[in-house]
Structure 1
Amino acid sequence: MTITTTPTETVEHIDPRTLIVETNVRTTAPLDPGFLDSIRQVGVLTPLLAWRDQDGGVHVRAGQRRTLAAREAGITTVPVYVVDAGDGDTARRIVEQLIENDQREALTDADRIQAWRALELEGLSATTIATRTGTTRDRVKTGLAVAQSTTATDAVTEGGLTLDQAAILLEFDGDTDTVAELTEVATTDPGYFPVAVERARQDRVAREAKEKVEQEEAAKGHRILDERPSDYHTAPYRVRMLRTADDEPVDPDTIQGKPGVAVYVATYYGGEARAEYYLDDPTALGLTVREEAGYGVGGTQSGPMTDEQKAERKELIANNREWDAAEAVRREWLAQFLARKTAPKDAQAVIAEALTAARWKIADGLTRGSGTAKVLLGIDSQDYGDQIAEYLTAHPNRAVHVTLAVLLGGIEQNTSRNTWRAPSADTAWYLRTLQGWGYTLCPVERIAAMLPENTVE
């Protein structure tokens, strides 16, 4: 079929196998699975730009990927816009190819989710949409979920968040403050976004656990304290520093429901919440205050905390929380990194450095087996036996990956909140190595890595 437009320009449907692809400014023409699937489903929709030589051969000037994909997909004909040109004007060819590639604007995530939503309203399932558009089913499902939420959709269309970032916000739908904070991080410091998300998750778990215990204590008639008292020698007195008439420690169970009981609910690593009991007037219950110099926070505080001490403690708590969140993100990233087919180019140098400069950190993992290494390799650590050796036997071509997992896992399992409080050269080297591989260190990890603040590497 031929559609004539002018005496020298026609739109023709031609077998892609007969087309001649010209030299192109695009030096590579990757045919990703999604693109190929879309060509298989609907063919080539936009005509190729080509010209015909004196022998009848049709040369493709613009559309080499579409041509190659059509051949790969077994398409019998493709639309071709044949113009009056030739192979003598190289400059014209290059200019046209540059314009054709440079001025092509890719669809945004906002465009995609709205289009997928429209297809869903037309009765198409996520599977059908994925098949017909050459997109993965999971990505379409994510996009449709985002489209259902005004908050997540606005984050993409107005905030400029990626589809994956907006999908994460769905976890916090209804929590306006957290959504606003994460949106700001995503737009101003995207490298910190994974840690900010993990921290928000852990904070939510801790907050819910704290609220649950507070409700239980309030039901007993106890007064709930918003802050932990910093002066242990004035009311309310912590029960831990009280004594009975027999000079015995006070059992918290004996004061439950009594008048003047106050409770501060503290949260700990893993989201555990515990009640700390205080009494406004111990003497009313026949109790006395244990008078010991230096009794208090850290064993040295004898009076109320100063503003400077409060600020230091606030920073300590904030950095601990950030470290906990970063630990989860870092280990997940490392597991994904080691799941790649190819080991990092400097793997041998890293292994040598770990076995020498960081040998004390990895010794425990080498002698007793590293549970963290199993996690990094995707091995079920609940199984018994030498799973790492069994994994290596089953995957001999991943010997370098296994070695890295054991060595780096040994270092990783010996990290803790104390890592940032007292940085060491070996752990700092480890964190800088991860950074060199593409991992983004958060501020508290930069402290542990002995790197200056806000330094762009």
Structure 2
Amino acid sequence: MRKNFDLDEHPEVKESIKRGVEIPLLAHREPDGTITVIDGQVRALAAIELKVARVPVWVTPAPQVDRAEREIRRTSTQINVNDHRIALTDGDRAAGMARMFDFGASLTRISQEIGQRREQVKLAVTVGRSETACAAVDAHQLDFEQAAVLAVYENAGDTDAVARLLAAPRSMFAHHVKRIAAERDESRDRFRESLPYAAEGFGVHSTDPTEDDSFIAADLLRTSDGEPIDIARIHATPTLWSIYCQPTEVEVLLDRDTGEVVDPDSIDPATKPKPNAVAVEGLRHADTVESGYLWAPEYYLRADRLDESGFQYASDFTQTEPQPEQVPETPGSGHVCPVQLELRPNHSRSIARNPLYRSGFGCS
């Protein structure tokens, strides 16, 4: 089970093996006739490296239990036995505990057999599932708590997060973790908000395409008459366009489960902050909502479809563009609500089409 073992770090073992292996290895004979070493891994590795032709091995029949139970017993024995010889590295121990857990051993059982607290075992199992995290622990680059965070990202396939965390100074590790988590939360929200547009036929950007010459922002284009392109015309030919969703500064209340915009008047004020309170009929509990922001799409035309679209660059027109009409200030709001933003029809968080927003809700 050793993965981070360097035989050169133990010259006394190599010298001993050169003189011959005296203590027999313990092994099981499998039903298919193969031999599995269960005790003496270091001696076996040293003998192979030194090209020792013969070593003594005590072979017994493999126990008649299922494979998972055998692996749990074997790994537990190796961890305990090796701790009294050439100790396993912290990474190897973590990997061993993860192996036991994956074969069905409970955290409680591992804790009892290895002699560590359950909380430590739980952390070790997380770390042990990532070779990068185990190596970082063994190199004293990260502690177990930090390595566990890295392991979660590696097992999720997030190589960017892993690279950033490995490069982060330990003193700044927590800061980088929070920053990455916030970025991933925004990416998930962006993905969710983009799905309805994708269903309509729009291309979807996961990163800002502003600097990509393959796409032209809609506000840089005009119709053949020199007029700005309205939303309805864009939605009439979605395959010519792509969108990049961005959170606006319009704060609203959202359903925790669905993300739907919630009217604050639909919340029973007596339920806040009382998690066990029951909302009156027709109203909802305050715990079912959370603060959030409306999202708006930025539209981009594929540059290779410009001629086909019939649109032209705004710079091709010499006339002065009319100034947008100012929206009257909502009484008591202190500023102008940006209701000129338009989102796709039927979107749960649409600004221009949302009656709550049109009535001034969400402006601050």
TM, length-normalised to structure 1: 0.31
TM, length-normalised to structure 2: 0.37
